[in-house]
Structure 1
Amino acid sequence: MSRRVFRILIILSVISIIGIITVQIVWVRNAYALRERQFRQTAFIALQDVAERVGQHNRITTSCAAVRQLSPDYFVVNTDSPIDPATLEHYIQTSLSNHNLITEFEYGIYNCESDRMMYGALVSPSATRQPAQTGRTLPKFSENPYYFGIRFPNQTRFIVGNLDGWIVSSAAVLLVVVFFGYTLVVVLRQRKLTEVQRDFINNITHELQTPVATLRIAADVLRSDAILDQPERHRQYARIVHEESLRLQKQVSSVLQLARSERMQFALETTDIDLHQLLAEAAALFHPHITLEFWAENAHIRADRYHLENVINNLIDNALKYNNSQPNIRLQTRNEGNLLIWSVQDNGIGIAKEHHQAVFKQFYRVPTGNIHNVKGFGLGLYYVCKVVKAHRWQIQLISEPGIGSIFTIQAPVLKLTTPTANLLTAS
Structure 2
Amino acid sequence: MQQYTVNRVIFLGVVAIIGIVGMQTYWVATTWNLNDTEFRQKAQLALYGVARQLAAANNSDLPSQDIVRQRSSNYFLVNIESEIQSVRLEELMQKELVSLGLDVPFEYSIFDCGSNCMVYGARCEPTTEPASGEASSASTFPIDEDLLYYFSVKFPERTGYLWEKMQVVFFFTAVLLLTVTFFIFSMIVILRQRRLAGMQKDFIDNMTHEFKTPLSTIRIAAGVFQRDERISADARLSRYATLIYEQYERLNNQVEKVLQISRIEKGNFEIEKEQVDLKELLPPLLSGITLRAGERGGKLISHLPEGSLMVDADPVHLSNILHNLLDNAVKYGGDNPQITIGGRRKNGQLHLYVADKGPGISKEHQDRLFEKFYRVPTGDVHDVKGFGLGLFYVFQICKAHGWTIRVESEEGKGATFHIQMPLLAVKKQTVAVDAVM
Q: TM-score, normalised by structure 1?
A: 0.52
**Mapped contact 1:270–1:304 kept (Cα < 8 A):** yes
Deviations 1:252-298 (A, max 9, x none): 33334434444563311112223344334432332363222234888
Aligned residues: 301
2: distance between equivalents of 1:229 and 1:408? 44
- Indicate which of 176, 181, 196 corresponds to 1:176: 181
Amino acid at match of 1:178: F
Q: Which residue of structure 2 aligns with residue 42 of structure 1? A: 40
**Mapped contact 2:205–2:262 kept (Cα < 8 A):** no
1: distance between equivalents of 2:203 and 2:380? 17
C-alpha RMSD of the superposition: 5.6
- Indicate which of 371, 391, 407 corresponds to 1:397: 407
**Mapped contact 1:297–1:335 kept (Cα < 8 A):** no
Deviations 1:201-227 (A, max 9, x none): 99xxxxxx9xx99x999x99x99xxx8
Amino acid at match of 1:318: N
Structure (1 or 2) with the larger CA radius of gyration: 2
Amino acid at match of 1:398: E
Aligned-residue identity in percent: 29
How big is the shift at 1:315? 0.6
Task: Decide whether aligned partners of structure 1 residues 231 and 300 sit closer, same or farther in structure 2, where only a CA change above 3 A counts.
Answer: closer
2: distance between equivalents of 1:273 and 1:323? 29
How big is the shift at 1:348? 2.2
1: distance between equivalents of 2:201 and 2:362? 20
Q: TM-score, normalised by structure 2?
A: 0.51
- Indicate which of 377, 381, 385 corresponds to 2:395: 385
How big is the shift at 1:236? 3.2
Task: Decide whether aligned partners of structure 1 residues 186 and 369 sit closer, same or farther in structure 2, where only a CA change above 3 A counts.
Answer: farther
Structure 1 residue runs without a partner (length 5+)? 1-26, 73-158, 203-208, 420-427
Q: Which residue of structure 2 aligns with residue 329 of structure 1? A: 339
1: distance between equivalents of 2:283 and 2:340? 11
2: distance between equivalents of 1:28 and 1:404? 60
Amino acid at match of 2:240: Y
**Mapped contact 1:296–1:340 kept (Cα < 8 A):** no
- 2:262 equivalent to 1:275: no
Q: Which residue of structure 2 aligns with residue 247 of structure 1? A: 250
2: distance between equivalents of 1:356 and 1:328? 21
1: distance between equivalents of 2:366 and 2:202? 21
Q: Which residue of structure 2 aligns with residue 358 of structure 1? A: 368
Task: Decide whether aligned partners of structure 1 residues 242 and 40 sit closer, same or farther in structure 2, where only a CA change above 3 A counts.
Answer: closer
Task: Decide whether aligned partners of structure 1 residues 344 and 275 sit closer, same or farther in structure 2, where only a CA change above 3 A counts.
Answer: same
1: distance between equivalents of 2:266 and 2:302? 35
Deviations 1:309-361 (A, max 9, x none): 10000110111112322222111222343533211111123223332233322
- 2:343 equivalent to 1:306: no
1:359 match: secondary structure? coil
Q: Which residue of structure 2 aligns with residue 294 of structure 1? A: 304
Structure with more relative contact order (C-alpha pairs < 8 Å, separation 6 or more):
1
